[in-house]
Amino acid sequence: MGLEKPNKQKIKNHIYPSDSRLLLPKGFVSESKKTFTKNLKTVAVIGSGWSGFEAALAFCEAGYIVTIFEQGEDLVPTAANSSKYTGRTHIEGFHYPRSATTRMHCRSDYDLFIEKHAAVLVPNRNSYYGLVKRDGEGNKPKINLKQFHQMRKTSTKKITLIKLKKSNLLTDDFQEVFSVEEPGVKNGQALREYFRDTLMSKNIKAFKNMEVLDIYKEGDKFKMRLHNKLMKNSEPFDSVEFDHIVNATGFRSNIPKDFSNNPLGITLIYQPVVGLRFEDTKSERGEFSMLALDGANPCLMYNGVDPNTGKAMYTMTDAASTILMTCKSSEDAWRLLQMLPPNFVECEVLPIALSHMRTFIKRFSDRFKFIGYNEGVIAKPVSRSEIRTSFCFTFDGIAHIFPGKMSNAGPVAKELVKLISGKNENVKQIGAYSFLEGGRLAEAFEEIKDLPDGKEHNTCFTSPYDELNRLVSTTYLTYSKNPGIFWHNSNDSYDTRNSRHNKEKSGSEDLSNRITNFSFNRS
């Protein structure tokens, strides 16, 4: 028996459970006959970030009928927060000098991305990449000056070598710095409107506030168990049938069961992160970005001009402080963010990040004003090279996109169309997993399977705050001195070799009682 239809005036996303059918919004009724015909294949895309957006476009261009399901309150929910990886186009992957695969994919994808999404680009004439003398933890960088030179010399872009002694911006704590023009990408409402307008022009339906609880198969079709988040007391309901399902949630939900034992060799971790937001009080000096290589270093990313204040906006991250912990699951990582003590970021994270940034940018605190922070969770494959490229595969027929850089999203989506269509003969099968021979995942295998041994610093193992380790009661990742890694419970003793910022505190002392009152905005 179907559920009672709610009052249409109260439900903004126009999705109603009724007789296990998905009803289209009023504005799309005239298109419904064309949308769900037997002659066209249908695809449901879960998630409306860059991966979901590009997947929807790629399948639409290939002749599929596409519907997006977003559990957030609007499209591109992370755009509203301008979270950790705000708007960086990653020209040639300079930020990942030890990952040949990440650099190769960023280099091949960059120009296509810039041309395709020119409408949302933010000009940035000076993106500085510098090799440090010591990172934020006092360690030498993982690449040497010769390798840094090689990266610069093999670039296909116009690069300017910076004379540090004459620089009014950068300190001499760098060994060497070069600059390249690298536009950023608009975020927030501007990006959301771009996504919405593009999807509407392609007649791609997108539904918000729609949580996917389960995916199951009936015959040769897929269905999803859905929950309308605007209907708090409502029962879950079933979607219509789809020929294919694409999980584009940043690999944070609906992942394959028992993925920790996957035969692909992917060791997966999740990290709760914060992005520190700053306003440039002297914007007339010109926009720039700064990325310190290679290790536990800070980055400063230009986010464009705030239309309300006219001030340039920036996001700072710091591998030694803004990655709060390493967790086994997305749920654990989100839980940690929800459990953060009042003003933990302002009192514990911010001072460390500022001290590191001042090492590389002159008079940073005189120019930049802290105005708040954003938070999020990122999925990472553990690897020695710290690979951060995107790839795709299917598991039991359901397609999954592993997140990387935003410029990777388009090519990976096109690869996924080939994989799902069954028209490509070069499909590799390992257990219930399928991927393209010679595709992005195949190209990344060597790096993904090369795990760090625990003797070296690696951001995949970052858990810098003993206070947070003691605060939570969940499961986290650690590592042993022997090759390989293992999981342990938070009640066990912690290896704190990556916890340089911990302070000796009384075990009975409540962290929240030690923090002075701040009033910065967390949203």
pLDDT at residue 181 in the model: 95
Across the range 351-378, mean pLDDT stands at: 95
Whole-model pTM: value is: 0.83
pLDDT in tens, 34-72: 444 557 899 999 999 999 999 999 999 999 999 999 998
Across the range 439-460, mean pLDDT stands at: 91
519 has a pLDDT exceeding 70: no
Are β-strands 391-395 and 398-402 bridged in parallel, bridged antiparallel, or unpaired?
antiparallel
Q: Is the distance from CB of 263 to CB of 324 less than 8 angstroms?
A: no
Q: How far apart are CA 34 and CA 493, in angstroms?
A: 60
Q: Output the CA–CA distances (angstroms, integers) from residue 357 to 111, 321, 364, 368, 473, in the order listed.
A: 30, 11, 7, 11, 32
Q: How far apart are CA 378 and CA 333, in angstroms?
A: 9
Neighbours of 181 (CB within 10 A): 14
pLDDT in tens, 113-164: 999 999 999 899 999 999 999 988 888 999 999 999 999 988 999 999 999 9
pLDDT in tens, 330-340: 998 998 999 89
Structure tokens at 130: 């510098």
Cis peptide before 74 (omega within 30 of 0): no
DSSP string, 242-270: BSEEEE-SSSSSSPPTTGGG-TT---EEE
Q: How far apart are CA 18 and CA 89, in angstroms?
A: 43
500 has a pLDDT exceeding 50: no
28 has a pLDDT exceeding 70: no
Across the range 11-20, mean pLDDT stands at: 34
Band of the pLDDT at 221, cuts 50, 70, 90? very high
Band of the pLDDT at 467, cuts 50, 70, 90? confident
pLDDT at residue 137 in the model: 82
Band of the pLDDT at 472, cuts 50, 70, 90? low
pLDDT at residue 387 in the model: 96
Q: Which residues pair with 278 in a beta bridge?
A: 314, 370
pLDDT in tens, 199-216: 999 999 999 999 999 999
Q: Is the distance from CB of 204 to CB of 68 less than 8 angstroms?
A: yes
Phi and psi at residue 33, in whole multiples of 5°? -65, -40
Cα 90 from chain centroid?
13
Sign of CA dihedral 236, 237, 241, 242: negative
pLDDT in tens, 173-185: 999 999 999 998 8
Q: How far apart are CA 287 and CA 272, in angstroms?
A: 28
Neighbours of 124 (CB within 10 A): 23
484 has a pLDDT exceeding 90: no
Tell me which long-range contacts 258-267 makes (C-beta under 8 A, separation of at least 24): 260/328, 262/433, 263/430, 263/431, 263/433, 264/393, 264/430, 264/433, 264/435, 264/441, 264/445, 264/448, 265/445, 265/448, 265/449, 266/381, 266/402, 266/448, 267/381, 267/382, 267/383, 267/448, 267/451, 267/485
pLDDT at residue 317 in the model: 95
Band of the pLDDT at 5, cuts 50, 70, 90? very low
Q: Which residues pair with 42 in a beta bridge?
A: 65
Sheet containing 221-228, strands listed edge to edge, beginning at the edge strand earlier in sequence: 210-218, 221-228, 237-238
